[in-house]
Structure 1
Amino acid sequence: MALKQEITNLPELVNKLKKKDRELFNRFYSIKLSVGMLKVTPEMENFVKNRFKSIEKTENQKIVCINNKFTWEGNLFNELRSMRPKPKTKFMPSELDNKENCLFCNIEKQTPLDIFGRIKGKHCITASNIAKYDKFHGLIIFKEHNPMKLKKTWLKDYLETAEKWFDQTDKSNKGMVNNFLIWNCLWRSSASIIHGHMQVTASETKYQKIIKLEEIYDQYKKKFKSDYFADLFKIHKNLGLGEKIGKSMVLYYLTPIKEKEIIILSKEKKFSEMGGLIYGLIENYFRIGVQSFNISITNIKGYWMVRLVDRGSLENRNSDIGAMELYGNSVVAYDPFRLAKEIKI
C-alpha cells in the first residue's frame, strides 16, 4: 500500500527520500511523533463519535512536532483540533456590503493624506494612517468596499499603487531601508474596518523578524555555501509541498505560523509582477472556505517574500492565537499536504 501524503507520515516520507535530499531535510528540520492518550467515558461516546468521528482516534491522538533548526519556527500538528466545538456568532455575507458610516467610502474627505499627497490608481487611492506604527505608514484603500470581491486587475493595481507609494516615501526622505506591505482582510485578521485596504510602511530601520531572516540567510551561505531559500524550497518540493511558477517558488509551509500558511519566494523585479499568482492563491483560499486572512510582502536578500495565512471563520468568537502561539509553538490543525492537494494554480 502506498504511503499516504500526510503530516502524520512525515518521518516515513522523509526516510523514503534520496540520501542527499534526506540529509538536506535533516539539516533544516527535526521531527518528533508522539501519541496523546486519553479515556473516553461511556457518557461521552455519542458526543465523541459525532464530533471527532472516531473514539479510537480520539483516545490515541497522533501529534507531530516539527521544528526549523535555523529560524526556531516550531509546530504541533493535530488534525482533531480542527473539530473542536467553537462558539459562533451569526454572520450574514450582506454585512460586507453595508457601507453605512464607512469612512473609507469617502476617502478624500474622511481620511488624512500623506505629506506628499495622495496617489491614485485605477481601482484604489492612498491615505495616511491616522494612528501610525512607523515613520511612513499609509493605506491603499480599495474603491470596492467588500474585500471579498476581488479581480486580478484590481489586485495588480493595488500592488502597483503600493510600489508608487514606496517610491514617493524614498523621494520624500532618503534612507528608507525597510518597505513592508500587509493586508489584514476582515476582523478575524485584526482589520478594524471592513472596507478593503492594505497597509504600507517605510522606515529607516528594519523589523527584527526581517533582520533575523537576513542573518540566517548570511550564516547559512557562509557555512553551507548554498542559498537558504533555494534549499528551503527544494525540501518542500521533494515532499510535494512546493511548486515553481515562473520566477516564483510556492511553499505549502511545513512550519506555518497558523492555518494554511503559504509562502512565495520570488526573483521578480517588482512585487506587483506577482499579482496574478497572489490573486490565484487568494481565489483558492476563498474556494476552500477561507474568509479572513493576512498577507505580508517584503524583500529579503533579493527575494520577494509573500506570506499568506488563514485566520478562521468570520463566525468564530474565539481567537485562533493563544499562549502557545505567543510563548511556545504554533498549534496547527490543517495538514500542509492536504493544502498542497487543494490549491490549484
Structure 2
Amino acid sequence: MHTLRDASILLFLFFLIILFYQLHYKSELSIPIEIPILSKSETFKIVSNEYSSLWYQKYCFKNKLSQKLVLENLPQYLNNARVSTNKICQQFATKFDALFRLEEIYGLLKLSPVYLNKINQWLHNDELLIEQIKKQRIIKIYNRYTHEEMLYNYMRSQRPQTKNEISPEEYTSKLLQDSKKNCDFCSKNYLNSTAEDRFGRLEHRLSYTAANTFKYDRWHTLVVSRNHDTLHLTEAEIVDMFELVQEWLHKAYSIEPMYTCPEMIWDAMPKSGASQMHTHLQASLGFDIYYGNIERTRQGARFYAQRNNGRNYFNDYLYIHQVLGLTIPIGNAHIIIHLTPIKDLEIMIMDEKLNKNFYKALHLVLRTFVDDLNEYSFSFGMYLPPMNESSADRHEMPVVCRLVFRNSVTNLRSDMNGLDLYTSSVIGKDRYVLYQQLKEGIEKRQK
C-alpha cells in the first residue's frame, strides 16, 4: 500500500512539474522580445553638419576635390579617416565602424582563350574591363544592426542584356492607355467596384480610400489617386494622397488605439507586382509592433543606442551618409543614396515628419527617375513613428521611405533572384553615380 501511495505521489508531482514548465514557457513565448529604450537616448533631429562633405573629402578622405568620389575607393577613404590626426575625422570613422562593417575582397578568374574571346565580345574589346574581370574587386558593406548588406561589384553591371523590340517608354504608355478602358478606380467606377472601411469611405479632392478586398491586416486600406497615371503625378496629387493616408490612420487609431504602427507600400506597374495600373498606395496599422523588416530596424536602432551611449541610430545613419556625400537635402528632408540598398536603384527619404519638404523630395525623385533615367516601375515602402508617440515622448523613429525602381519594364529577366531573396543584395551600379544622376536631375528642376 505504501509503495502504491508513494508512486501516486511521485506521479502527481511529476505532472505538476510538467504543467509548471508548460505554463512557464507558454507565457515566455507570448511576451514579445523587445529591446528597451534607454531613458537617456537621443531623439531623432535633422541637424546640419558643421563641416561639409567637401571638407571631409579633402581633410579626412585625402581625396582631391577635382576627383569624384567612387564607391570602390570607400575602404581607402575610411582608412585615411581612421589614421587621421584630426579628431573630427576620427569621430566619423568611429561612428562608421560602430554601424557598418566594410570589407574589400578580390575574386579571381582563370579564362580559356576561347572563353576570353566571347568575353571580349560582351565587353566590346575594352582592355581595362578585361583586366578588371580577371581580378574583380568586391566591396561588402554590412549594417551591424539591421543586418542588411550590399555586395558591390562594378562588373555585375557589365553582364550581357537581352534587347527588346519595343522601348520601355512605348510599352508603358500603351499599358497605361489600355488599362484606362475598364478601370475599377477611374471616374465614379470605384463607388460600385471597391469596398469601404468599417467607418466608411474618406474622400479628398484628388484622392479617396477603398478598403482592400484582400486584406493582409485588420486595418488595411487603399488610398487611390484620381489620376490614373502613377508615373506622372503632380506634387499636389502626391500631397493629397499622403494627407489622406494620415487622416485614415488617425481615424483607425481613434477606433482601436492598440493599433499603433503605421506603414505604407506603393507599387507601380506590373513589373513591381502591382495588380492594378491605376495609382494607389496601401496603408495599414500594425498591432503593437511593425511588420518584420521595419521592426527589425526599430529594434536594431534601440540596440544601437544601448551599445553607443544612447546615440540615436537614425541621427548617426544620416550623419554618415552626409559625410560621404550621399545625401541631397530638400529643406529638412534628406534624400539618401544609402550604402545597403536592396537593388541598384533604391534610395531613401528621411525626415522628422511628413511635410511639404518630404512631398517635394519624393516628387523630385520620381520625376528624375521617370523623365531623365527612363525608369518606369517602382516599389515603395514607408513607416511613420508610432501613433502613440510624439517628439515630446522622445520617440526614436523618424519618417522613412524607401523607393526602388525595378528592372526595365520590358526586360523578361526578373530584377530579384535567389541572391537578393536569401543572401545579400548584389549591386553593380556605383552609389556615387546614382547620386550624381539624381543631384543633376533635382537641381535643374529647382531652378
Q: What TM-score comes out, normalization by structure 2 length?
A: 0.72
Match of 1:262 among 339, 347, 351: 347
How far apart are residue 55 of structure 1 and its match? 2.0
Deviations 1:223-270 (A, max 9, x none): 2221111111111111111244333233210011112222222112x3
How far apart are residue 271 of structure 1 and its match? 5.4
Is 2:130 the partner of 1:35? no
DSSP-derived class of the 1:340 partner = helix
8 Å CA contact retained: 2:333, 2:357: no
How far apart are residue 321 of structure 1 and its match? 1.3
1:150/1:305 CA distance change after superposition, 3 Å: same
**Which letter maps to 2:283?**
V
Equivalent in the alignment of 1:279: 363
Match of 1:100 among 176, 181, 200: 181
Match of 1:59 among 128, 134, 139: 134
Which residues of 2 match residues 215-254 of structure 1 at below 5 A?
215-225=299-309, 226-254=311-339
Equivalent in the alignment of 2:56: none
Match of 2:233 among 146, 150, 157: 150
Distance in 2 (alpha carbons) for counterparts of 1:109 and 1:52: 60
1:318/1:271 CA distance change after superposition, 3 Å: farther
Is 2:209 the partner of 1:126? yes
Which residues of 2 match residues 146-225 of structure 1 at below 5 A?
146-206=229-289, 207-225=291-309
DSSP-derived class of the 2:231 partner = coil
Deviates more, 1:165-174 or 1:331-340: 165-174
Aligned residues: 344
DSSP-derived class of the 1:148 partner = helix
Match of 1:76 among 138, 143, 151: 151
Structure number, greater radius of gyration: 2
Q: Greater share of helix residues, 1 or 2?
A: 2
Equivalent in the alignment of 2:77: 13
How far apart are residue 86 of structure 1 and its match? 3.7
DSSP-derived class of the 1:117 partner = coil
Deviations 1:62-84 (A, max 9, x none): 21111111211111112222232
Equivalent in the alignment of 1:326: 421
Where structure 2 has 5 or more consecutive residues not aligned to the other structure, the ranges are 1-62, 82-88, 386-395, 443-447
8 Å CA contact retained: 1:141, 1:198: yes
**Which letter maps to 2:408?**
S
Distance in 1 (alpha carbons) for counterparts of 2:125 and 2:293: 38
Where structure 1 has 5 or more consecutive residues not aligned to the other structure, the ranges are none
**Which letter maps to 1:8?**
E
Deviations 1:145-191 (A, max 9, x none): 12111111110011111111112212332321111111111112111
Percent sequence identity is 28
How far apart are residue 42 of structure 1 and its match? 4.7
How far apart are residue 94 of structure 1 and its match? 2.1
Distance in 2 (alpha carbons) for counterparts of 1:122 and 1:83: 47
**Which letter maps to 2:157?**
S
8 Å CA contact retained: 1:114, 1:138: yes
1:308/1:159 CA distance change after superposition, 3 Å: same
**Which letter maps to 1:58?**
I
1:223/1:55 CA distance change after superposition, 3 Å: closer
How far apart are residue 4 of structure 1 and its match? 4.2
Q: What TM-score comes out, normalization by structure 1 length?
A: 0.92
8 Å CA contact retained: 2:261, 2:285: yes
8 Å CA contact retained: 1:28, 1:70: yes
Distance in 2 (alpha carbons) for counterparts of 1:248 and 1:100: 38
8 Å CA contact retained: 2:305, 2:313: yes
Equivalent in the alignment of 2:377: 292
DSSP-derived class of the 1:181 partner = strand
How far apart are residue 12 of structure 1 and its match? 1.0
**Which letter maps to 2:176?**
L
**Which letter maps to 1:103?**
D
Q: Greater share of strand residues, 1 or 2?
A: 1
1:88/1:173 CA distance change after superposition, 3 Å: farther
1:52/1:158 CA distance change after superposition, 3 Å: farther
